Structure 1
Amino acid sequence: MKFLETAIAGVKVIEPRLFGDSRGYFFEAYRKDLFAGAGIDARFIQDNESFSTGGVLRGLHYQIPPYTQAKLVRVVSGRVLDVVVDIRLGSPTFGKHVAIELSGESKRQLFLPRGMAHGFAVLSPEAVFVYKCDNFYCPASERCIRFDDPALGIDWRLPPETVKLSPRDRRGVLFKDAELFEEY
């Protein structure tokens, strides 16, 4: 397994080692000792899966304390642009983002520590997205930042007028109005 640093401290791309032959493939998606050796010591307690059609954009979501979440995300099938925004007050990369393409073909994963807003845009006709969380989902603690906030300058690689959003994501707030917290 390779653990690659990104422009945001704590956000890592994980490239698993694939073993394949004419029958198919095998890889370890998570192994506690290797992750700990790369500085990832999250204790995952919830797994989630979502299916989305092309053009769907989910996010930018996060939870406020005490329900903040670290996540390990990957795509089982299809392709997505995964975006992580650093919302940790005091962080040197506060307000910055990284965008990484994840796909069922590449098997790449992305780890995001607590204190990140997260979203993804489906670039293929459909996608299955799975992720592990180190804290439970709490609807009362969930917040959403607008995907198209000009202050963030995220290129989602989808025409904004064709993006498919949930009603909750349509009600997202601008980054300047987001409820943030000391997590750094």
Structure 2
Amino acid sequence: MRIRELAVPGAWEFTPTMHGDERGVFAEMFKASEFEKAVGRPLDLLQINTSTSAAGVLRGIHYTEDPPGQAKYVTCTSGAFVDVVVDLRPGSPTFGTWDSVVLDDVDRRWVFLSEGLGHAVLSLADASTVTYLCSLEYTPELDHEVDALDPDIGIAWPATGRDGQRLTLLRSPKDAAAPRLRDLAVAPRGRR
């Protein structure tokens, strides 16, 4: 497994080694010893979520108040997504910094994001399915969102999907009404 820390401290990309032959493909998707060596802690698992989206569906940027925060280990089980991690930790020297990874059913990458980081996914193909392993059960009063199209964050969302067709973004009303980064209560001094 190849492991790479993203530009956002506290987030990593895990790319499994694929072993294929005429029968198909095998890969180790998680190995506790390698995960803990890279991340410095075990993967706490309290809830697993899955979501299927049409091409162009943009979910997020979502985050959970920290503390307690919610860490996530995320992969795409079918189709393709752009997975984005944003630093939303108050006082962090990288507050507002983002990085992205393409998650798909070919390379089978995973992304781990620590508590305090925001998360968004953009579906690049119809019927794309993303799965999240979460360190905290869903707690609505702790969950919040930031506008994924906020120019202050400046995420470079792709304009075309996996098939080369132009994407039309579709967001939930809640995500479309999300506040900008500068309007968050978590924004550190000087970044509002």
Q: TM-score w.r.t. structure 2 length? A: 0.88
Q: Deviations 1:49-100 (Å, cap 9, x if unpaired)?
A: 1100101000000111444111111101111111110011222211110011
Aligned counterparts of 1:29 and 1:161: Cα–Cα separation in 2: 30
Comparing 161-170 with 3-12, greater Cα deviation is found at: 161-170
Question: What's the counterpart of residue 167 of structure 1?
Answer: 173
Comparing 163-172 with 38-47, greater Cα deviation is found at: 38-47
Aligned to 1:168, the other structure's residue is in SS state helix
Comparing 117-126 with 173-182, greater Cα deviation is found at: 173-182
| Residue segments in structure 2 that go unaligned for 5+ positions in a row | 161-165
Is residue 2:147 matched to residue 1:141?
A: no
Question: What's the counterpart of residue 113 of structure 1?
Answer: 114
Aligned counterparts of 1:11 and 1:126: Cα–Cα separation in 2: 26
| Structure 1 segment 34-73 matched on structure 2, within 5 A | 34-41=34-41, 42-73=43-74
| Structure 1 segment 64-143 matched on structure 2, within 5 A | 64-143=65-144
Question: What's the counterpart of residue 156 of structure 2?
Answer: 155
Comparing 140-149 with 64-73, greater Cα deviation is found at: 64-73
Give the CA deviation at 1:126: 2.7
Runs of 4+ in 1 over 4 A off after TM superposition: none
Is residue 2:21 matched to residue 1:15?
A: no
Give the CA deviation at 1:181: 7.8
Contact 2:10–2:113 (CA under 8 A) maintained in structure 1? yes
Q: TM-score w.r.t. structure 1 length? A: 0.92
Aligned to 1:162, the other structure's residue is in SS state coil
Aligned counterparts of 1:92 and 1:161: Cα–Cα separation in 2: 33
Aligned counterparts of 1:181 and 1:66: Cα–Cα separation in 2: 15
CA RMSD for the aligned pairs? 1.9
Q: Deviations 1:20-68 (Å, cap 9, x if unpaired)?
A: 2111122221221221111242312211111001010000001114441
Aligned counterparts of 1:180 and 1:118: Cα–Cα separation in 2: 15
Comparing 53-62 with 125-134, greater Cα deviation is found at: 125-134
Number of equivalenced pairs: 182
Comparing 49-58 with 59-68, greater Cα deviation is found at: 59-68
Contact 2:55–2:167 (CA under 8 A) maintained in structure 1? no
Aligned counterparts of 2:24 and 2:40: Cα–Cα separation in 1: 29
Q: Which amino acid aligns with 2:124?
A: L
Pick closer, same or farther for the CA change 1:78–1:116 going to 2, 3 Å: same
